[in-house]
Amino acid sequence: MLDPKFIRENPEQIKTIVKNKGTNPEKANVEKWLELDKTRTDLSNQLEEANRRRNEIAKQLSGGNITDDLKEEGKALKQKEQELRNKLTEVENEWNEIAAWFPNVPFDDIKVGKDDTENPEIFAWRPDTGEIDKNKLGENMDSAKYMPDNLLYADKEFTPKHHIDILEDLGMADVAQGAKIAGTRFVYLMGDIVRLQKAVHAYIMNHLYTKDFTPVNPPLLVKEKVLFGTSHFPEGRDQVYEIKNEFLEDKDSLFLVGSSEPSNFAYGIDRVFKEEDLPLKMVAITPCFRSEVGSWGKDVRGIKRVHQFDKLEMDIICTQDQSSDIYNELLNVNHWILQSLKLPYHIVEKCTGDSGYAASARQADPEVWLPGQKTFMEVGTDTNATDFQARRMNMKYIDKDGNRKLCHTVNDTGVSDRILIAIIENYQQSDGSVLVPEVLIPFMGKDRIVKK
Which one of the spans 41-49, 174-182, 198-206, 278-286 is the region binding RNA (CB under 7 A)?
Answer: 41-49
Which one of the spans 49-57, 119-127, 198-206, 339-347 is the region binding RNA (CB under 7 A)?
Answer: 49-57
| CB 252 to RNA: min, Å | 8
Extended beta strands in 303-385, E state: 308-318, 345-349, 362-370, 375-378, 382-384
Q: Is 59 in the site for RNA (CB under 7 A)?
A: yes
Interhelix angle 192-209/418-427, nearest 10 degrees = 110
| Amino acid letter, 302 | G
Please identify which residue in 109, 128, 249, 401 interacts with RNA, judged by CB under 7 A: 249
Return the number of other C-beta atoms located less than 10 Å from residue 210's C-beta.
7
Helix, strand, or coil (residue 434): strand
Per-residue binding letters, 2-21, with RNA (x by CB under 7 A): --xx----------------
* Proportion of the chain in helix, strand, coil states, percent, rounded to 5: 40, 20, 40
Looking at the DSSP assignment, which residues form a beta bridge with residue 395?
Answer: 271
Q: Is 440 in the site for RNA (CB under 7 A)?
A: no
- How far from chain centre, in Å, is Cα 437? 28
Please identify which residue in 61, 105, 205, 221 interacts with RNA, judged by CB under 7 A: 61
Please identify which residue in 13, 25, 42, 48 interacts with RNA, judged by CB under 7 A: 48
- Window 379 to 398, contacts with RNA (CB under 7 A): 396
Q: Any idea what DSSP says for residue 349?
A: E
Return the number of other C-beta atoms located less than 10 Å from residue 90's C-beta.
13
Omega cis (within 30) before 279: yes
- Nearer to RNA by Cβ, of 161 and 223: the residue is 223
| CB 271 to RNA: min, Å | 11
Q: Is 58 in the site for RNA (CB under 7 A)?
A: yes
Backbone angles phi, psi at 292, to 5 degrees: 55, 25
Which one of the spans 28-36, 61-69, 310-318, 330-338 is the region binding RNA (CB under 7 A)?
Answer: 61-69
- Nearer to RNA by Cβ, of 218 and 371: the residue is 218
Q: Any idea what DSSP says for residue 220?
A: S
Q: Is 52 in the site for RNA (CB under 7 A)?
A: yes
Q: Is 54 in the site for RNA (CB under 7 A)?
A: yes
- Nearer to RNA by Cβ, of 390 and 435: the residue is 390
- Window 250 to 279, contacts with RNA (CB under 7 A): 250-251
Per-residue binding letters, 207-246, with RNA (x by CB under 7 A): ----------------------------------------
Looking at the DSSP assignment, which residues form a beta bridge with residue 378?
Answer: 367
Cβ neighbours for 137, distance < 8 A, ≥ 6 positions apart: 120, 121, 122, 123, 124, 143, 346
Which one of the spans 28-36, 69-77, 336-344, 426-434 is the region binding RNA (CB under 7 A)?
Answer: 69-77
H or E element at residue 112: none
- Nearer to RNA by Cβ, of 59 and 298: the residue is 59
Q: Is the dihedral of CA 284, 330, 421, 170 positive or negative?
A: negative
Question: How would you class 68 by CB atoms within 10 Å of its CB: exposed for 0-12, middle for 13-18, buried for 19 or more?
Answer: exposed
| CB 279 to RNA: min, Å | 21
- The rounded radius of gyration (Å) of the Cα atoms in the chain is 26
Please identify which residue in 16, 39, 51, 239 interacts with RNA, judged by CB under 7 A: 51
Helix, strand, or coil (residue 168): helix
| CB 282 to RNA: min, Å | 21
| CB 165 to RNA: min, Å | 37
Please identify which residue in 64, 183, 294, 297 interacts with RNA, judged by CB under 7 A: 64
Q: Check if the beta carbon of residue 67 is closer than 8 Å to that of residue 313.
A: no
Interhelix angle 192-209/323-340, nearest 10 degrees = 140
| CB 58 to RNA: min, Å | 4
- Sequence length of the chain is 452
| CB 414 to RNA: min, Å | 28
- Nearer to RNA by Cβ, of 379 and 395: the residue is 395
- Nearer to RNA by Cβ, of 133 and 270: the residue is 270
- Nearer to RNA by Cβ, of 373 and 403: the residue is 403
Note the residues at the interface with RNA (CB under 7 A).
Answer: 4-5, 47-49, 51-52, 54-59, 61-64, 66, 70-71, 74-75, 77-78, 82, 249-251, 396, 404
